[in-house]
Amino acid sequence: SEAADLLGLMHYMESMRLVTVLQLVPPTSDENVTVTDTEFNNVPVRLFLPKRAPGGLRRAMVYFHGGGWCLGDAGMKPYDHVSRRISNELNAVVVSVNYRLAPEHRFPIPFEDVFSVTKFFLQSEVLSQYGVDPARVCVAGDSAGGNLAAAVAQQLLEDPEVKTKLKAQILLYPALQALDLNLPSYQDNDNKPLLPGSLMVRFWSEYFTSDPALREAMASNRHVPAESGHLFQFVNWSRWLPAEMRRAHVYGGPSFGGARLAREYPGFLAPRASPLLASDALLRRLPPAYVLTCEHDVLRDDGVMYARRLRAAGVPVTHHHAKDAFHAAMMFILWPTELAVGHRLFNAYVDWLNENL
């Protein structure tokens, strides 16, 4: 991807998307679940409806796939499989959202798409149409999708038109802040499989702009201006990380950059893009959370800090930290990339949903 980008043959993310295309599967119903591609509020979704008798109103999940806001699709085989199993095993309606992607559609468009779908689905007449219990709806997502799920859960609280309250938010190895990209987890896992630190920086910068100046500033962790320094209280890992994750790392405080980037691309300082920057007053109104973090993952500390901030705000949190797992491990449940750790994480996730949704 980097070679094609440098040679001007294809944008970096366009060539990365070839992986997505190779994994796409059509919407195929089976004996348990009806699967269709449709639209909610003009945004494409893959809809999973269980076939067995509901025995009352069903629960529901609105799901946002990962891929750094630039890649991914609800129709990729792992996402299709996971949504299908959740729909069948929990007798739940699953709405898997195909939001528009960067770099063609930068922040806030991906967020606006997922928020639009969620707000549409939460209308009482729509929930009634699909036989969904309004008291048993959650948002969920992995990686960049976890970012979107956290942001949607926060934004729903600020929208007076939304009457239905979420039952839960499920954040699977989420990306939650673009302020400090030199956390201990970034340092410890800079070259670990699937999501090296340089790729995460590329995803973050592409979410906001093609300006290489932002990517370079993020890579050196000098993209936040001094006048935004007060935001670092929310991502101060010396306070929010447990000792076993701080290890030998010493917190040195933020390194500030100039004001231009934040002035031209203010999105990376907004809670809609960095949900970890939300105030305590907002956090304490959020629904219960399930947060999955993986030890060998640059995003580990984002999820850990959010779980601890939510807990400190009085929100019920189940934080599952997998010490033997890497980023996106839960998707490794299909041949030929099937791993025991993937099945273990998925089963724990489904068990929690069964008990709490």
Position 10 scores a pLDDT of 52
Position 39 scores a pLDDT of 98
Instruction: Say how far apart CA 13 and CA 19 lie, in whole Å.
Output: 10
Q: Which of helix, strand or coil describes residue 269?
A: helix
Burial class (CB in 10 A: 0-12, 13-18, 19+), 191: exposed
Instruction: Say how far apart CA 115 and CA 120 lie, in whole Å.
Output: 8
Instruction: Say how far apart CA 324 and CA 27 lie, in whole Å.
Output: 33
Domain ranges of the chain: 1-356
Q: Where do we find the tokens 């993937």?
A: 342
Q: Which of helix, strand or coil describes residue 41?
A: coil
Amino acid sitting at position 280: D
Which two tokens mark 184? 């201990």
Q: Which of helix, strand or coil describes residue 156?
A: helix
Q: What CA–CA distances, in Å, run from 180 to 34, 136, 185, 223?
A: 43, 35, 11, 9
Position 7 scores a pLDDT of 46
Q: Which of helix, strand or coil describes residue 62?
A: strand
pLDDT tens string, the chain, 357 residues long: the values are 565 455 454 566 777 788 788 889 999 999 999 999 999 999 999 999 999 988 899 999 999 999 999 999 999 999 999 999 999 999 999 999 999 999 999 999 999 999 999 999 999 999 999 999 999 999 999 999 999 999 999 999 999 999 999 999 999 999 999 999 999 999 999 988 889 999 999 999 999 999 999 999 999 999 999 999 999 999 999 999 999 999 899 998 899 999 999 999 999 999 999 999 999 999 999 999 999 999 999 999 999 999 999 999 999 999 999 999 999 999 999 999 999 999 999 999 999 999 999
The pairing of strands 33-40 and 43-50 is: antiparallel
Which two tokens mark 202? 């590329």
Residues 6+ apart with CB under 8 A from 111: 148, 151, 152, 155, 272, 273
Position 15 scores a pLDDT of 72
Position 120 scores a pLDDT of 98
Position 11 scores a pLDDT of 61
Q: Which fold does the domain 1-356 belong to in CATH? A: Rossmann fold (3.40.50)
Position 192 scores a pLDDT of 87
Task: Provide the annotated active-site residues.
Answer: 143, 297, 327
